[in-house]
Structure 1
Amino acid sequence: MYLKASSPEELAFARLIGASQDYEATVLRKLEECETLQPTAEKAAKWLVMAANQGSIEAQIAYATSPESTLGPRPDHESHEFQEWKRNASSYLYESMQKGSVDALSALANAYGTGLIVPRSVVKEYALQMTLERINPAYSSRKHLEELRSILTPAQIEEARKTSKSTYLTLTGNSPDL
């Protein structure tokens, strides 16, 4: 008879039907070993930071869009760790965007809108939102673009247009039709 206990409950059942003590010892050892593999928040944060440092676009975006994932719940925005997170998050988003990640572009546009990672800039947010719309109109809200445009001066709109054109060229290698 073949027994496979992968949980304490299954081990208890194996005991009921007469599993040997050697079997029980082996299963208990394996269960203990498996428990050490359970991801903790600290381990997950460590792996996320490592993957982001190694250039994984997905890890860089996850790191940048969730300070809680590496700093824990309710991080202190004035702490040295949070300031370091902001520097890394900004760098990761730019790096991923330069590699062509639309998700990083979107996260960076949002970051300029909120001012959490980078200083708030309506001009830069507008420029990046325009780039998203050029890539695919479904990636940016027309209403949001109009709201941003309504608070910018003509000179700021022109600056944003130039930034958007340059960003689009960097991302796609193509010149946008303007």
Structure 2
Amino acid sequence: MNQIVNRLGILIFPLAATLWLASGCKQERPQHTDAPAQTLLAAEPESDSAVRNASARASPANRNVTIQPLSGRAFAVRDFGSAPNGPVNEVLAQLKTQALAGDGAASYAIFLKLFECNTLNMRAAKGLPIRDNDAAEQCEALSAADGITSTEWLSLAAEQGNIGAQLFYSMDPASALGGEAAMLRDPDATLECKRKATGYLEGLASQGSADALLQLGNAYQAGVLVNEDLVASRAYFEAVRLSDPSLVPVQQIKGLEKEMSSQQLSLALRKGAVIYGSCCR
């Protein structure tokens, strides 16, 4: 996998179901080993600091995520990073100690590698064509246990402050837990997963993340991650529009507005301006 995705926002949602169905939303932490820490991840260039003015963006945990500044303090993720090159067992050995020592970029890189391998192995098992034979060969050493832990690494990277991991984590907790039936079987895990996901989105949105604002707009419209609130949904989309009009899902907003009264729409636009003023101006 050369690149999981270039833009999150609207384009990420078709990928969300694949991500969560492949990996699940589990909270166990990866176990520590004594494998030596090496350097598959480059240090963050000094020149990047000029555009990483928010605390999350300034964190070394995000050195493998590329940020695009928008208007004011707003920003979007331009590149969510690539899986490290090399055999999966070597990637795990070289990054695991760094990750368990608190390096969010290392934890996220492990997740990207495991996700790439899980995806390639599933395609191979179904007899589907593999475009990148070199990447497939690098995944041959992936064990069943390694595959299962991909979401634990995602969860750890999110806890360690990696923006890409936090956005991925927040996509679809219902699918993460195996659908509506699984949510009913374990309501406590469902609530905790939703709470953490919402917290990540709200935290990133408060720092100007257009991707998080978009996800919150979708979440309040869908009513899965949070209770449905069309006014809140439209307000978050308005904050995105004020940050960068090219990012808003125009047709989705038109459909949303058809379900709202004129009073609700007016309130939503006012709230959106307040959100933008607080996070992004």
Deviation, 1:155, is 2.5
- In the comparison of the two structures, how many residue pairs are matched? 140
After superposition, the C-alpha distances for 1:48-67 in whole angstroms (9 at most, x for unaligned) are 11111122221111111143
Q: Which one of 238, 263, 267 corresponds to residue 130 of structure 1?
A: 238
Greater radius of gyration (CA): 1
Quick check: which one's helix share is greater?
1
Quick one: structure 1 residues 70 and 45, their matched pair in 2 at CA, closer, same or farther if it must change by over 3 Å? Answer: farther
CA distance in 1, matches of 2:228, 2:191: 15
Q: Which has the higher contact order (CA 8 A, sep 6+)?
A: 2
**Shift in alpha-carbon separation, 1:155–1:56, aligned structure 2, 3 A:** same
What corresponds to 1:45 in structure 2?
A: 151
Structure 2 partner of 1:55: 161
Q: Does 1:91 align with 2:221?
A: no
Q: Determine the C-alpha separation between the residues in 2 that align with 1:148 and 1:158.
A: 13
Specify every segment of 5 or more residues in structure 2 that has no aligned partner in the other structure, as ranges.
1-86, 88-139
Displacement of 1:93 = 0.7
Q: What TM-score, normalized to structure 2? A: 0.44
Contact 2:167 2:201 in 1 (8 A): yes
Report the TM-score, using the length of structure 1 for normalisation: 0.67
Matched ranges for 1:1-20 at <5 A: none
Higher mean C-alpha displacement, 110-119 vs 138-147: 138-147
Q: Would the aligned equivalents of 2:174 and 2:224 in 1 still touch at CA under 8 Å?
A: no
State how far apart, in whole Å, the 2-side matches of 1:68 and 1:164 are.
27
Q: Are 1:119 and 2:227 matched, yes or no? A: yes
RMSD (Å), alpha carbons? 2.6
Amino acid at match of 1:93: L
In the superposition, relative to structure 1, how do residues 70 and 48 fare at CA in structure 2: closer, same or farther (>3 Å)? farther
Deviations 1:104-128 (CA, angstroms, capped at 9, x unpaired): 1111111111111000111111111
248, 252, 256: which one aligns with 1:148: 256
Note the residue ranges of structure 1 that are not aligned, 5 or more in a row.
1-5, 7-33
Match of residue 168 from structure 1: 276
